[in-house]
Structure 1
Amino acid sequence: MTIHAHALLFDNDGTLVSSLDSVERCWTCWAGEYGITAEEFGRVELHGRTAVEIVGDLLPARLVPEAVARVEQLEVEDVPNGGVRLLPGTREFLDALPADRWAVVTSATRRLAEARLGAVGITPKSLVSADDVSRGKPDPEPYLLAARRLGVDPARCVVFEDAPAGLRAGRAAGMTTVALATTHEAAELDADLVVRDLSALSALVTDGGVEIAVRG
């Protein structure tokens, strides 16, 4: 299978990098500080959602701004402690792409996203974070904004995601979706193409855009 694209849009956590250990450490610490029980915490979906949404499920609205700032602080401070690592194939795949043909679209804040990306040496020319939109994934707004910033028709964009919410956002934006089975089982991921991670794919830049293919 070959997918033709004019722009490639990547989620960050779980797609380009792994931050699962950091997320678990920081959110567990945060939950303890705010008196949230393990049972309460276990009922909330963390992955692929903004901190504002997660905190809003657990705390009264009056506490949300302060609590969101606290968990962001914990996560940013955890980055130098091995809080993030590149997932297989990330470096090679991104290195094959022109800088103006791809963007990172994340549910994290800009401060946290830049800290995690910087720790592994990734510097996207375009980054859409939770700070840039009023509605996060699974709403299509983040991906539509990324396409607009790159000057590309959404129908000619390919979204790379590991979470169901992100894949729903990509589909709602009218984009082709590629799911990476890094944090969810493949059967849980509804996409045009499902692979284990970026090491399963190759990218060839042509005059007409980028051709994405599954490695043999």
Structure 2
Amino acid sequence: MKIHAQALLFDNDGTLVSSLDSVHRCWTRWATEYGLTAEEFGRVELHGRPAVEIAADLLPADVVPEAVARIELLEVEDVPNGGVRLLPGTKDFLDALPADRWAVVTSATRRLAEARLDAVGILPKTLIAADDITRGKPDPEPYLLAAHRLGVDPAHCVVFEDAPAGLEAGRAAGMTTVALATTHQAHEVTADLVVKDLSALSVLVTDGGVEISVRD
């Protein structure tokens, strides 16, 4: 299978990097600080959602701004403690792309996203973070904004995601979707193409765009 595109849009956590251990450490501490029970905390989906939405699900509205600032600080401070690592295939895949053909689209705040990306040596020219949008995934706004910033028709973009909410956002934006089975089982995600991670793919840049193929 080959996919042709003009621009590639990547989720960060679970797609380019893994920060699951850090997320677990920091959010568990955060929940304890805010007096949440394990049952209350366990009902909320953390992965692929902006922190402000998670906090709003768990805490009174007047506490949310302070709570969001607190989890951002905890996660940023945890980055040097081995809080992030590259997933297989990420470096080779991104190194093959011109800087103006791809973007990172994350539910993390810009401060946290930049800390994690800098720690593993990823320097996107275009980064869409939680600070840039009014509605997070599964709303298509983040991916539509990325396409706009790159100057590419959404129909000519490919979204790379590991989370169902992100894949839903990509589909809603009218984009081709590629799911990476890094945080969910292959049968738990719906996409135009499902692979284990970026190491399963090869990329060829031509005058006409970008061609993505599944490795033999």
1:104 CA drift (Å): 0.1
Deviations 1:172-197 (A, max 9, x none): 00000000000001101000000000
Q: How many residues align?
A: 216
Unmatched tracts of structure 1, length 5 or more: none
- Look up the equivalent residue of 1:81 and give its one-letter code: N
User: 1-side partners of 2:34 and 2:172: how far apart?
Assistant: 35
For the residue of structure 1 that corresponds to 2:100, the secondary structure is helix
In the other structure, the counterpart of 2:119 is 119
Is 1:70 aligned to residue 65 of structure 2?
Answer: no
- Look up the equivalent residue of 1:89 and give its one-letter code: G
- Look up the equivalent residue of 2:180 and give its one-letter code: L
- Look up the equivalent residue of 1:196 and give its one-letter code: K
Unmatched tracts of structure 2, length 5 or more: none
1:37 CA drift (Å): 0.7
User: 2-side partners of 1:125 and 1:3: how far apart?
Assistant: 23
Is 1:136 aligned to residue 114 of structure 2?
Answer: no
Is 1:3 aligned to residue 24 of structure 2?
Answer: no
Q: Percent identity?
A: 85
In the other structure, the counterpart of 1:103 is 103
User: 1-side partners of 2:155 and 2:129: how far apart?
Assistant: 21
In the other structure, the counterpart of 2:201 is 201
For the residue of structure 1 that corresponds to 2:36, the secondary structure is coil
In the other structure, the counterpart of 1:34 is 34
The alignment yields a C-alpha RMSD, in angstroms, of: 0.3
TM-score, normalised via structure 1 length: 1.00
- Look up the equivalent residue of 2:163 and give its one-letter code: A
User: 2-side partners of 1:133 and 1:71: how far apart?
Assistant: 19
User: 1-side partners of 2:95 and 2:59: how far apart?
Assistant: 42
User: 2-side partners of 1:16 and 1:36: how far apart?
Assistant: 31
In the other structure, the counterpart of 1:17 is 17
User: 2-side partners of 1:144 and 1:167: how far apart?
Assistant: 13
Deviations 1:27-78 (A, max 9, x none): 0000000000111111100001000000111000000000000000000000
For the residue of structure 2 that corresponds to 1:139, the secondary structure is coil
User: 2-side partners of 1:212 and 1:40: how far apart?
Assistant: 42
User: 1-side partners of 2:114 and 2:159: how far apart?
Assistant: 20
For the residue of structure 2 that corresponds to 1:169, the secondary structure is helix
TM-score, normalised via structure 2 length: 1.00
- Look up the equivalent residue of 1:198 and give its one-letter code: L
User: 2-side partners of 1:134 and 1:173: how far apart?
Assistant: 15
User: 2-side partners of 1:19 and 1:41: how far apart?
Assistant: 19
For the residue of structure 2 that corresponds to 1:73, the secondary structure is helix
